[in-house]
Amino acid sequence: MSEAYFPVGPGLGLEENFLSLDDILMSQEKLPGRAESTLPRLAFALGQGAGTGDSIPEGSKLEIPLWLAKGLHDSKRRIISVELPKIYKEAWRTVFSADANVVDLHKMGPYYYGFGSQLLNFDNPENPEIAQTILQTFISRFRRIMDSSQNAYNEDTSALVARLDELERALFQAGQKGLNDFQCWEKGQASQITASSLVQNYGKRKFTDMDG
């Protein structure tokens, strides 16, 4: 990772960070919903039906991205109701409480924690259980992530990382960086001036461009 570039980090809990690329992509994930009343001229915009004038009838199922669901959510007038994605539902919550380590969160997520926290914005009666499951899942998976990130030195980590959620990946990378820096220091290389990683990446790119 480049030393001088610090991207805007994702927000915590219920808050999204406005300028964070991670949060923008996270809020692009879709969740199932239902139209509670007839919505005129909206069919085309949501990708259902061909004509611009078509309306969405009451009770039809929709797939809407999180940002839209948040923007349209109104506790007083329920026009669109939001349902839980299946990974946050009761059945999956049981799986997580049985053994959270076996779940491939990247396939199911990849923003399991962030998206789950955002779901708490909608006044769902199951909110406390969702929050509890997310927290417990993180706790039970964290030990393993920390362990592997601190001990896999000079190894191919792609298999370890493949099943991790985006938040967990960031943690894993931070652990790996710490490990590498420490090993560097032990070997007495910490004072060596190295080429900037950004420069190294551009160098690689240049060579591949020449080949192509």
Partner 1 sequence: MAGERAVGLVRELHRAAGGHLPPFRAEGLRQALEEMRALYERNQADVSEAKSGRTDLIFLIRFRHCCLLRNQRCILAYLYDRLLRIRALRWEYGSVLPNTIQFHMSAEEVEWFNRYKKSLATYMRSVGGEEGLDLTQDIKPPKTLYIEVRCLRDYGEFEIDDGTTVLLKKNSQHFLPRWKCEQLIRQGVLEHILS
Which parts of this chain interact with partner 1 (CB under 8 A)?
Answer: 1-8, 18-22, 24-25, 28, 38-42, 45-47, 65, 67-68, 71-72, 79, 188-203, 206
Half-sphere exposure of 39 (CA within 13 A, CB side): 21
Q: Mutual orientation of helices 90-98 and 127-151 as an angle, nearest 10°?
A: 40
* Minimum distance, C-beta of residue 194 to partner 1, in the bound complex (Å): 7
* Minimum distance, C-beta of residue 47 to partner 1, in the bound complex (Å): 5
- Which residue lies nearer to partner 1 by CB, 41 or 143? 41
Q: Which residues pair with 82 in a beta bridge?
A: 33
- Which residue lies nearer to partner 1 by CB, 152 or 170? 170
DSSP string, 23-75: HHHHTTSEEEEEESS-BTT-TTTTT-SSSTT--BPTT-EEEEEHHHHHHH--S
- Which residue lies nearer to partner 1 by CB, 26 or 130? 26
* Minimum distance, C-beta of residue 93 to partner 1, in the bound complex (Å): 30
Q: Residue 76 is encoded by which pair of tokens?
A: 């007083």
Full 3-state SS string of 104-162:
CHHHHCCCHHHHHHHHCCCCCCCHHHHHHHHHHHHHHHHHHHHHHHHHCCCCCCHHHHC
* Minimum distance, C-beta of residue 74 to partner 1, in the bound complex (Å): 9
- Which residue lies nearer to partner 1 by CB, 76 or 206? 206
Judge contact between 43 and 60, C-beta under 8 A: no
Burial (Cβ within 10 Å: 0-12, 13-18, ≥19) of residue 203:
exposed
- Which residue lies nearer to partner 1 by CB, 63 or 90? 63
- Which residue lies nearer to partner 1 by CB, 61 or 143? 61
H/E stretch holding 81: strand 80-82
Residue owning tokens 């900037």: 196
* Minimum distance, C-beta of residue 201 to partner 1, in the bound complex (Å): 6
* Minimum distance, C-beta of residue 14 to partner 1, in the bound complex (Å): 17
